[in-house]
Structure formats: structure tokens, C-alpha cells
Amino acid sequence: MLLILTVLTLVVTCTAGKTRTWLSNTNFDNPANWEGNKLPCSTSNVIFPLKHKMPVQLGKELQIHSLFLSDNGALLLPKNGKITFTSETKDSSCGGGDIRFTRRKQRYWIDPENWSGSNAATPHLERVPCFDDELIFPENHSFYVGLPRFFSNAASVTIDGQKLVGWNWKKFLNDKIGRRTFQPHLAPLAVYNYPCPQNDDCDCHIITYDEEICPLMKVENAEEDCHFPVLPFGFCNSICGAYILLKGGNLGEIRRELDEFTSENGVIGHVSKTNGYIQIVLVEKGDYTGNIEHLASQFKEKISSKKLFKTYVKLETSKQAVVKNPVQKAIGYIFFYLFIAVAILCTVILYYQDYCVNVPFPSFGSTAELGAFRFARFQNESGSGDEDGEILEVCPPDPAREERRQSFYNPIYSQDKEGPDDSFTLSTLTQLEADVADSTPSNN
């Protein structure tokens, strides 16, 4: 591993556009880069992976017990920095032992999580550097960055206080530190202050690379916080908030009105040109309450009254908040399952009693009643020709129904009813059979 001494130079620059700062680093003193998220100490055996390419920035003073270097890598020492190796193996304030540098992967240029300069209302695809952004990699830090493989542009890149533009950027990419810091070093990234040809902001063409950028984002489920979330241009997933689309207008004036409105109403806002529209995004600070629908309409009316745009396209907002209170959710579940239980009970009752209710038949122009079900049970007794009939009713008869004349006569189902012309019933039949039996002479 190479030990490279770097002299840091501070260059004061004035920025004219948006400024974004790189957030990740490969520093020695960053616990996230070490096994167990613990920094090495005076009794530690520091071990770098055998195959290790990234540069590592050291602090001004470093005390360790031993150091195992990789085959290919770089330790960056600040000016007047030093490394001290101790013979101590035990220290009450230091756990000691072997500790490994675990950072392996690059952090990607097109990952929105790696850049500052955005808020919750900024579309994900606009959180990645655009052509007019000035980018800063903090001093006294080392980095391992995966550059985009598609053409992209930035106004300038500042590394260790040195502002790089055009040829200076290309030259840096081809030196030893540049090759280790940015890969691939031949990526089509242009660093040139290319002004927008229009008087107002231009579209950031990075928005067309959603297929490369969105897979790097953490998936957020907005449906857990609100009903009917919205999806503005440039977002990789739906959000709880609102957005307004306009055609034509004074973007600078709208931005000033938005800054004033958000500070007065405690919301977060972002305005930009995208896909040929002026898009205004509004989200609430903190937990979602559903008040954003009213606020978005209020802001739209405000800029409309001042005639800051030419054509209104649309306004979309998410709806009411999802209840997260455990007690309220429990009550909601209780009522839901109670409703299901009652519905099932009613279905069972109707299933067993549906033949006892009136069933409408609209095709006949009136309501026809379904008569009560009845069964007749016959019992044969040994040594006797008598048959006693017993009638069982499944449902109690309806008195009103009993008065209705039947369309035909059935002695089993209507034993207590008169036929159309006579009163022949099962009881009469039984009595006649008995009379015949009595009148027949006995063989004895």
C-alpha cells in the first residue's frame, strides 16, 4: 500500500448555482467503515483487506498496535500527520485485538442518498447533480465514488478546496488519487459551467434516467401514512403530499412566493421545471395530517391571483391520513370483525328460514308467498291395517296464508284445507278404511 502525503490547499470560491455536498467517505476515523462500527485504538491490530483499492484518509495523529496493509491501496496523510505504533496489548479504555476495515463498495454518483442540498419535496431524480450544480467533496476526507455510465454534467467539482472545471477535472481523474477515488475514470461526466440558454431555469435532463437511479432508492410505502398518495414527476414512488402543474410563468417569482408560503405555514416545498411544466411539490413537516390538500389549494389561488403563470394544468393531492393510534386501530378492528360476525350470523339464519319468508316475484306483478313447509309421517303397526298419519310443521303456519286458496288440492300438504269442490282429507280416508274393515265378515 502506498503512503501518500497530500498538502491541503484552501481556495475560496463564490457559487452562483445550487450547491451539493457529497455525504459519504472512506475516512479512517469513520466508525461506519470498521467492523462492529468501532474505531481502532492503541492496542488494536488494524487489518485492511488484501484486495483493497480505495483511498483512506488518516487523522493527524494515529496510535495503533500493528498495521496490516493490502496489496494495492492508498493511505492519505495530512500535512504534519503521524502514525505511532505502541507495544501495549492491554488498555482498560481500549478493547484491542484484531479490527478489520469493512468498507468494500463504491457509493454511486447517481444515488440521491449520497448528496445534500435537497428536501422531502424535491423529486428523487432532481436530488442527483444537474448541469448547473456546483459540487463539493469536503476537505480532509477520502472517497470511493462510482461515476455514472451515461452522459451527465456539472458546473464544477471542488475537492480538497480546489475547484476543478473542464481540463483540470479531466487531469485530476487521470492522476493516482483521482483513479482510486472515481471509477471508471473514463466515465462520460463533463464538468463545465454551461449556462442555461433561457432567462429562467432549464429542465434537468437527469430526470430521463429513472431506470438507473430509482433502483438505488429505498422503497417507501406512502399508503401506510395516507390514502390515495400522489406521484409527481421525478419521484420514484408515491408520496403523501400535493403537486401543482403549470404552463409558462415566472419561475423566480413563484419560488419566492413558495419560500414565503412554506415558512408561514410550516410545510416543505420545491419548484422546478420538468417535462415542460412548472411543477410545485408540497409536503407536510413531520407526520402527515391531511391538511396539505387545503394548503395546496390555498397556494394555487395565491399565485393565480398574482398572475404568476399562464396556464393552470392540474392540482393533485393525497387524501386523509391513515390512523396510526393503536387504540383507534384496535377499535376499528373490533368493529370490522364484529360486522363480519353479524353478517355471517344473518346469513346462517336466513339460510335455515328462507322458506318461511315472503319471496317477491316481480315478473308476476305482485308478491307471491311461499307456503310453510310441512311433512307427513306414516307409521305402520304390526297386525293392523290401520295407518296413523302424523303431520309435522317445520315452520308455524301463517294465518293469513292459511286463508289463501291453493291452485290445486293435495291431501298430504293441505290436509286441513278444503278442495275446490269437496273436503276430502287424509282423516276421511283413514276413517273409510276402518269402516270397510269393520263391515267385512270375519272368516272365523
- Is the pLDDT reported for residue 61 higher than 80? yes
What is the distance between the terminal CA atoms of the chain, rounded to a whole angstrom? 133
245 and 207 share one domain: no
The verdict on 155 and 208 lying in the same domain is yes
| Nearest-angstrom CA–CA distance, 245 and 309 | 10
CB 319 within 8 A of CB 227: yes
Strands (E), 297-424: 309-317, 359-361, 366-368, 374-380, 387-393
Residue 373 and residue 287 in one domain? no
**Between residues 441 and 227, which one has the greater pLDDT?**
227
CA separation for the pair 26, 101 (Å, rounded): 10
Say if residue 45 is in the same domain as residue 116: no
Q: Which residues of 144-179 are buried (b: 16+ CB within 10 A; e: fewer)?
A: bbbbbeeebbbbbbbbbbbbbeeeebeebbeeebbb
> Is residue 135 included in any domain, yes or no?
yes
Query: What mean pLDDT is predicted for residues 150-165?
Result: 90
Length of the chain: 444
Helix (H) or strand (E) holding 263: helix 251-265
Q: Which of 152, 182, 215 is the last residue of a domain?
A: 215
Q: Which residue did the predictor score with more confidence, 411 or 139?
A: 139
The average pLDDT across 120-138 equals 91
Amino acid 9: pLDDT = 28
Q: Which cell numbers hold the place of 141?
A: 476526507
| Closest to 97 (Cα-Cα) out of 36, 161, 141 | 36
For residue 262, give the nearest of 233, 244, 242, 282 by alpha carbon. 282
Mean pLDDT is lowest, of 100-104, 258-262, 339-343, for 339-343
Beta bridge partners of 277: 274
- Residue 415 bridge partners (DSSP): none
What's residue 3's pLDDT? 41
Which has more confidence, 406 or 216?
Answer: 216
Instruction: Label residue 126 exposed, middle or buried (CB < 10 Å: 0-12, 13-18, 19+).
Output: buried
- Among the ranges given (26-30, 290-294, 345-349, 387-391), the one the predictor scored with the smallest mean pLDDT: 387-391
The residues, any chain, with a CB within 8 Å of residue 436's CB and separated by 6 or more, are: none
Q: Is residue 10's pLDDT more than 50?
A: no
Please count the structural domains in the chain.
4
pLDDT of 412 > 90? The answer is: no
pLDDT, average across residues 362-379: 48
Please give, one letter per residue, the 3-state secondary structure of 214-260.
HHHCCCCCHHHCECCCECCCCCCCCECCEEEEEEEECHHHHHHHHHH
What pLDDT digit, counting tens, does each position of 281-320 carry? 999 998 899 999 999 999 999 999 999 999 999 999 999 9
Q: How many CB atoms lie within 10 A of CB 212?
A: 16
∠ CA 302-304-309, nearest 5°, is 125
pLDDT of residue 370: 46
Question: Phi and psi for 66 in degrees, rounded to 5?
Answer: -155, 165
Which DSSP category does 257 fall into? H
Contact 130, 204 (CB under 8 A): yes
Nearest to 395, CA basis, from 423, 372, 367: 372
271, exposed or middle or buried, with CB in 10 Å at 0-12, 13-18, 19+?
A: buried
Higher pLDDT, 403 or 180: 180
Asked if 280 contacts 249 with a C-beta cutoff of 8 angstroms, the reply is: no
The whole-number pLDDT of residue 317 equals 96
210 and 292, same structural domain?
no
200: confidence class by pLDDT, cuts 50, 70, 90:
low
E strand or H helix at 168: helix 167-173
What domain range includes position 382?
368-439
- Judgement on whether residues 61 and 116 belong to the same structural domain of the protein: no
Nearest to 298, CA basis, from 262, 271, 272: 262
Question: DSSP letters along 87-128, please?
Answer: ----BTTB--EEEEB---S-EETT-GGGB-S--TTS-GGGSS
Q: Do residues 234 and 311 share a domain? A: yes
Domain boundary among 166, 186, 215: 215
Task: Say whether pLDDT at 44 is over 60.
Answer: yes
Q: What pLDDT does residue 341 have?
A: 86
**pLDDT of residue 364 exceeding 50:** no
Residue 368, pLDDT > 50, answer no
Looking at 189, 215, 241, the residue that finishes a domain is 215
Task: Report whether pLDDT(247) > 50.
Answer: yes
Any domain includes 427: yes
Quick: pLDDT tens for 63-76.
Answer: 999 999 988 888 99
What radius of gyration, in Å, describes the C-alpha atoms of the chain?
43
For 123, residues 6+ apart whose C-beta sits below 8 A from its C-beta are 207, 232, 233, 234, 235, 270, 272, 274, 279, 281
* Domain contains 79: yes
Q: What is the mean pLDDT of the chain?
A: 79
- Please say whether the beta carbons of 126 and 206 come within 8 A: yes
Mean pLDDT, residues 36-43? 92
CATH number at residue 256: 3.30.70.1140
Q: Name the more confident of 95 and 400.
A: 95
Same domain, 239 and 290: yes
Reported as a pLDDT band with limits 50, 70 and 90, residue 411 is low
User: Distance of alpha carbon 241 from its chain centroid, rounded?
Assistant: 13
140 and 51 share one domain: no
pLDDT band at residue 351 under the 50/70/90 scheme: confident
Give me the phi and psi of 248, to 5 degrees please.
Answer: 70, 155
Q: Cα–Cα distance between 332 and 64 in angstroms, integer? A: 59
At residue 369 the predicted structure's pLDDT band, cuts being 50, 70 and 90, is very low
Residue 326 is assigned to a structural domain of this protein: no
User: Is it the case that residue 360 has pLDDT exceeding 90?
Assistant: no
**Model confidence band, residue 108 (pLDDT cutoffs 50, 70, 90):** very high
Examine the pLDDT at 199 and tell me if it is beyond 60. no
